[in-house]
Amino acid sequence: MKKTLVTGLAVGLCSVALMTGNAVALPLGNGPSLIQTPAQITSGQVALQDVVDTNFGAGTIDVYNDQTGVGGWTQTDNGAEAYLVTLGYAAGTATPFDGILGIYDLNDSSKTWDLISTATENEEGFRFLANGDLKIDGAVVDSGWSGAFGFYFEIGNITRFTEDDENSGGGNYAAAYAIADGVSWSGNGNFAGNDDWLLAFDMNNDLGVARDFNDGVFILEDMSAVPEPTTMLLFGTGLLGLAGFSRKRRKK
């Protein structure tokens, strides 16, 4: 019985190691201090906090302190579609940058798909079938996806990913926020459930100063966060502690 327990723990720890090194979201890191306050925004730009307040109401999301560290997602279930909607800027303050929002496979970041060209589109729906097919607008467009994905935003020859280690130099160029159940979205009704997100990208190369994170701002609906390595490591630590406790009892 004890041998079976220890063997099971060893297998569990191996599984944790595999999950930690593969297809899990990396923390976005660097903290909220790198997001500019409204007072720091230069002429012609608009602060991310002002964008959020305009669309959701003041006090709904604090862009400096409510960052989740999520960099990867899965859809809520195989039957649901995950919708992405460009979050508009406050009228008269600024114009969103034209770019391309896409998804990439967390198991293979070279596997990508462009979803929205913000110059001409403002939303797109997609889902993964159980066999790994990617379905958009009712048609299968690609196959071989793991079902765990991150997002990238591309302007010109610059591409930013939601996972830090996919970016050049491992920099933080995305900030993700959970949207609570019942939050109202200006003129578009209320969010239901706790599987909706706000995602903001910054294209600046200077990681040593506060940045605006307003180059691409999107709403993600019906998506679940992929567990972070920290969560899995804590779980693994617990298993190690349990294994140690078992050995101590056996010696007695």
The answer on 236 and 165 residing in a single domain is no
Question: Each residue of 117-171: pLDDT tens digit?
Answer: 988 888 999 999 999 999 998 899 999 999 999 999 999 999 999 998 999 888 8
Kindly state whether residues 9 and 107 are assigned to the same domain. no
**Does one domain contain both 20 and 137?**
no
The answer on 246 and 177 residing in a single domain is no
**3-state DSSP: the chain helix, strand, coil percent, rounded to 5?**
25, 30, 45
36/125 same-domain check? yes
DSSP 90-129: PTTT--PPP-EEEEEETTEEEEEEEEEETTT-SEEEEEE-
Give the CB-side neighbour count of residue 212, counting CA atoms within 13 A. Answer: 21
Asked if residues 177 and 68 have their Cβ atoms less than 8 Å apart, the reply is: yes
Q: Which residues contact 148 (CB under 8 A, 6 or more apart)?
A: 23, 72, 73, 74, 105, 106, 107, 226
| Amino acid in the structure at residue 243 | A
Judgement on whether residues 194 and 248 belong to the same structural domain of the protein: no
> Does the pLDDT value for residue 212 go beyond 60?
yes
Q: What are phi and psi of 83, to 5 degrees?
A: -100, 140
Quickly count: other Cβ atoms within 10 Å of residue 120's Cβ.
7
* 190 and 73 belong to one structural domain: yes
Full domain range(s) for residue 251: 1-24+227-252
Pair (105, 160) in one structural domain: yes
Residue 93 CB burial class (10 angstroms; 0-12, 13-18, ≥19) = middle
Q: Identify whether residues 12 and 122 lie together within a single domain.
A: no
Task: Read off the pLDDT band of 90 (50, 70, 90).
Answer: low
Please indicate, yes or no, whether residues 250 and 195 belong to a single structural domain of this protein. no
Percent of the chain with pLDDT over 70: 73
**147 lies in the same domain as 238:** no
Q: Are residues 208 and 238 in the same domain?
A: no
Tell me how crowded residue 61 is: count the other CB atoms within 10 A of its CB: 22
Separation CA 192–CA 180 (nearest Å): 8
Spatial CB neighbours of 168, under 8 Å, sequence gap ≥ 6 = none
Question: What is the pLDDT confidence band of residue 95, given thresholds at 50, 70 and 90?
Answer: low
CA atoms within 13 A on the CB side of 82: 30
> Could you read off the pLDDT of 50-75 as tens digits, one per residue?
889 988 989 999 998 999 989 999 98
SS3 156: coil
Specify whether the CB–CB gap between 76 and 195 falls below 8 A.
yes
The whole model's pTM is what?
0.78
Q: Average of pLDDT values for 79-94?
A: 72
The helix or strand, by DSSP H or E, that contains position 21, with its residue range, turns out to be helix 2-21
Query: pLDDT at position 214, please?
Result: 86
Query: Given this model, what pLDDT does residue 30 score?
Result: 44
For the chain, the domain total comes to 2
